[in-house]
Structure 1
Amino acid sequence: MLTEKDINQIKNHGVTIDKVVKQLEVFQRGIPPLEVITAATVGNGIEVIPSETEDKLLAFYDEHKTKLEIIKFVPASGAASRMFSFLHEFLQTFDPEEETLNSYLKEGDKSQLKIFCNALKDFAFVNDVRRKIREIHPNYKTNKKGVRLKMFVETMLEEHGLNYKNLPKGLIPFHKYKKYYTTAFEEQLYEAAFYATANEDAYLHFTFSEEHVPYFKEEFEAVKNRVTKKTKTNFHISYSFQKKETDTIAVSENNTPFRDAQNNVVLRPSGHGALLDNLNDVDADVIFIKNIDNVVAEKYVEPTIRYKKILAGKLLWIQKKVFKYLDILDAKEVSSEMLEEIKSFLWNELNIKNISKDRIQLQYILKRPIRVCGVVKNTGAPGGGPFWVKDDYGNTSLQIVETSQIDTTDLRQKNIISEATHFNPVDLVCGVRDRHGKKYDLNKFSDPEAGFIAHKSEDGKPLKALELPGLWNGAMAKWNTALVQVPLQTFNPVKTVNDLLELEHRPNE
């Protein structure tokens, strides 16, 4: 399937031919779907922590954090284009020469566009757009309503204007304060100061697209003094890129390499699972993971701070028990009662069932990275959730699973999905060091078979793309995992621009 030219192109991209051949084999045979046994629910994999225990865990974290290396890991390379999908459609389908804006809004479902039009003055970016419009269209105000809206949207999204369609989501103005606005990037810094700090220093690691690094650096310099003064915290920023060697080859519908207009094979980023290599390069006692767009305005941040600390306290408490048990298991003689206690701990705290009291097996299970995942009650939002999963050997384990990994044509599997009570908001606290302070190699705890094949398009032609195991899905499949219910108010993602009109994104209300 591959020509000599293809092979040279692939090697120059940094991907090995062996990897590409294996990927082509995966397309040929397909990826078997995961078999979900049941949805994780409260009392069946998900813990609701009593309020008095929450206070103890929060205090436990505060007591120990000054002795720890803490970092916040934020996947931030996602483009903002999907935030504005209904606005892209508006630009493509509305012709002010042919119809009025009012008649256009009556055609089909234009509810999102109507909301956007009626709330223009409430968005944080409105003044920047208006300033740019005055530069580009001096006669803006003399035009009809439909023309003005098209000018506004074009100025906001297109390259000749503010170019929001090509910016990362983290740099779009999110929150409109009285004297300034903030981006999601700045809000991530602000909230980190209250839980991901030790001795007034906050360390954050962002994964960017390489072309966006200058923009993030510029933003950091612009907001550093303000956020440092407000929080009395010194911020240390590091960043990395999704590695090109994790890109995967795309194929056509017949599973042959997909080719672009220049007849080159197409290599694509392989989803957020590729960030496992980036996370593996981060070495700290405690790593908080949170998506870039899940932020709130300052006045609404208190629940987020509280529950981040509770999850971290839970992680440290679990680690303390695990390290103690490993010390005990090092002894030549371990009592049957102690082996039973360890087995009970694994069952009750880490949801690991059907194991023997064999000392070697218990050591093997305990010597893993640990993650405590916050989960929220299901609101019908698209994305992954916690399920009990059966592997090829008949073993069951608790996993975060994407719907795309499940065979939804199977009625029984589809019914299990419909029974899900909780959703994965990407709210993790991770322990990646062993009891001796040595970092685990996270690649050893991934399930390389847990990816999925996605149907995409390029230049109007359909293609199939291989997505690596998701960072909090298959990439962490063999971690020790605890799931904790956190309040829905800690989950405020911005999937469309109109989400910025929700109360938690409006600092002045």
Structure 2
Amino acid sequence: MNLTPDQLQQLKQKGISQEKVQQQIDTFTKGIPFVNLKAAATVGEGILRFTENEEQDLVHFFDTEAQNKALLKFVPASGAASRMFKACFNFLEAFDPEQENLEAYLDRSGDTAMKAFFDGWERFPFYGTIQDKLAAKNLSPDQNAQAFVAEMLLENGLDFGQLPKGLLPFHQYKTESVTPFEEHLKEAVHYSASKGQASVHFTISPQHQSGFEAEERSASKKIGEQTNTKFQIGYSFQKPSTDTLAVNMDNTPFQNPDGSLLFRPGGHGALIENLNEQDADIVFIKNIDNVMVDGKSDAMARSKKILAAHLLLLQQKAFDYATLLEKGENADLETLIRFITDELNVCLPDGFKVWGKSNQLEFIGKMLNRPIRVCGMVKNEGEPGGGPFWIEKENGQVSLQIIESAQIDSSNAGQYAILQNATHFNPVDLVCGIRNHKGEKYDLMQFVDHEQGFITEKTKAGKSLKALELPGLWNGAMAFWNTIFVEVPLLTFNPVKTVNDLLKPAHQAD
């Protein structure tokens, strides 16, 4: 790989080494193999389901323990809202109120998304604001429909098409509309606050920092006064050093017209570096768009406490056993094996039973000294995305993982059958333990499976290219964590993927 002086300077500015670039080119050349599914995780086989009494005990345990723990809520929030409004942008291009009326257009085009939009538009939290702006224009109903969408999306209006989801009005209450940013602060009070303080960290895009800080000044003051809570709010950006090289279809570096190398954001997997900079006893991870209105969030908060309590109980045992092994004290081998296999879902390697005891204890110690994640899983209702599976590596190692459909070879009948038989779906509902038995924070970068990235085909200026996404934050970036799956209620999963999702009950105040 021969790079020009300007390209070398470009790497230096981004904090990317030549070795890293070569590794990425090698990845493009070799390709990223599909994962090998062994089985879908199901209740009793990789997914826990607690009884009502067990849940009550866990909630009580968390409420007792939480006051002595450092808690943090980590919210990926850098995504733009543009994809939420894809149907609306298409509508602006296709509909001309001077040529046909809205009803005729919807009937002719079969645009079910925009029909649902207009059928329910009075329930959007921004409906009144936009109609007030349009009131003086004396528009016909059809002109008003087009003007409403334009005012909502475009730069000379509210510019929702360019804002991040976290700053959009999601919910309408009697006297105000509220953003997901504010809803996440409310949530933090319910399950990630300790001794009247709540820490929340948002990963955002640099261009939106001032908008988030303005929202923080308003929302944190209001919610803080209402709940007697002090907020510690932090922000971070996806690092330029996590950008990945784009290559031509022959795997040579793709160059821009000025001769510079083309780099692309590495996807949400890059956020493992942001998470690695945080430190707390318990970290709750939840996407920015997965919120619900006041009065419907009690079950969500209860679910979070259940996951966190189970994590704390597992940690207590793991820390006790790790301390015993470190001190060289006698520890019952069978008890240790049962704990890592039955409770931490560790699969013993082939031949483990005939290893010497010292080698067995060394392996167990390594398995105990890993970050822990307890992940909520909801019953599969046909949502696209990842799910919980047992996978097998080439070396025969079996582990429990969250796998995206893009990582699976759907042309393989056996693999496709396992995918189709999956009973649960990943709602991105994680509670993480990132400290060891000494209270030291793990270096999370040591637990990433770099082989679980994604290669996709894109275009730039009409030219085809290949792009590399880093292993996803809750996929390959956490592949070597101890992983526990727990069934959680479907009502805790309320993402807003399209603007019409705001019409669902979870986003409508009573």
> The TM-score by the shorter chain falls in which range?
over 0.9
The one-letter amino acid of 2:110's match is: D
Question: Partners in 1 of 2:133 and 2:39 — Cα distance?
Answer: 53
Q: Identify the residue that residue 175 of structure 2 maps to in structure 1.
A: 179
Q: Identify the residue that residue 76 of structure 1 maps to in structure 2.
A: 77
Deviation at 1:267, TM superposition (A): 1.0
TM-score, normalised by the number of residues in structure 2: 0.95
Q: Please show how residues 487-506 of structure 1 align to structure 2 within 5 Å.
A: 487-506=489-508
Q: Which runs of 5+ in 1 are unaligned?
A: none
Q: Identify the residue that residue 34 of structure 1 maps to in structure 2.
A: 35
Equivalenced residue count is: 501
Deviation at 1:131, TM superposition (A): 4.2
- 2:411 pairs with 409, 412, 418, which one? 409
Q: Residue 298 of structure 1 aligns to a residue in which SS?
A: coil
Contact 1:132 1:161 (8 Å CA) reproduced: no
Question: Partners in 2 of 1:467 and 1:202 — Cα distance?
Answer: 32
Q: Identify the residue that residue 264 of structure 2 maps to in structure 1.
A: 268
The one-letter amino acid of 2:414's match is: R
Question: Partners in 2 of 1:287 and 1:186 — Cα distance?
Answer: 19
Question: Partners in 2 of 1:7 and 1:24 — Cα distance?
Answer: 16
Q: Identify the residue that residue 117 of structure 2 maps to in structure 1.
A: 116
Deviation at 1:20, TM superposition (A): 1.6
Question: Partners in 2 of 1:374 and 1:22 — Cα distance?
Answer: 34
TM-score, normalised by the number of residues in structure 1: 0.95
- 1:325 pairs with 321, 324, 344, which one? 321
Q: Identify the residue that residue 129 of structure 1 maps to in structure 2.
A: 130
Using the aligned pairs only, state the percent identity.
Answer: 47
Q: Identify the residue that residue 162 of structure 2 maps to in structure 1.
A: 166
Q: Identify the residue that residue 90 of structure 1 maps to in structure 2.
A: 91
- 1:242 pairs with 228, 238, 256, which one? 238
Q: Which runs of 5+ in 2 are unaligned?
A: none
Per-residue Cα deviation, 1:324-355 (whole angstroms, up to 9, x for no partner): 112222354535xx210111111111111225
The one-letter amino acid of 1:212's match is: H
Q: Identify the residue that residue 345 of structure 1 maps to in structure 2.
A: 339
> Greater shift after overlay, 190-199 or 350-359?
350-359
The one-letter amino acid of 1:203's match is: S
Alignment of 1:354 with 2:337, yes or no, is: no
Q: Identify the residue that residue 219 of structure 1 maps to in structure 2.
A: 215
Alignment of 1:197 with 2:190, yes or no, is: no
Alignment of 1:475 with 2:477, yes or no, is: yes
Query: What is the root-mean-square deviation in Å for CA atoms of aligned residues?
Result: 1.7
Per-residue Cα deviation, 1:188-238 (whole angstroms, up to 9, x for no partner): 000110110100100000001011110001011122232123322111101
Question: Partners in 1 of 2:508 and 2:348 — Cα distance?
Answer: 49
Contact 1:294 1:492 (8 Å CA) reproduced: yes
Question: Partners in 1 of 2:133 and 2:464 — Cα distance?
Answer: 37
Contact 2:311 2:372 (8 Å CA) reproduced: yes
Alignment of 1:258 with 2:254, yes or no, is: yes
> Greater shift after overlay, 248-257 or 482-491?
248-257
Q: Identify the residue that residue 50 of structure 2 maps to in structure 1.
A: 49
Q: Residue 173 of structure 1 aligns to a residue in which SS?
A: coil
Question: Partners in 2 of 1:484 and 1:50 — Cα distance?
Answer: 12
Q: Identify the residue that residue 375 of structure 1 maps to in structure 2.
A: 377
Deviation at 1:129, TM superposition (A): 2.3
Q: Identify the residue that residue 283 of structure 1 maps to in structure 2.
A: 279
Distance 1:127-1:383 versus aligned 2 partners, 3 A rule: same
Q: Identify the residue that residue 146 of structure 2 maps to in structure 1.
A: 150
Deviation at 1:162, TM superposition (A): 1.1
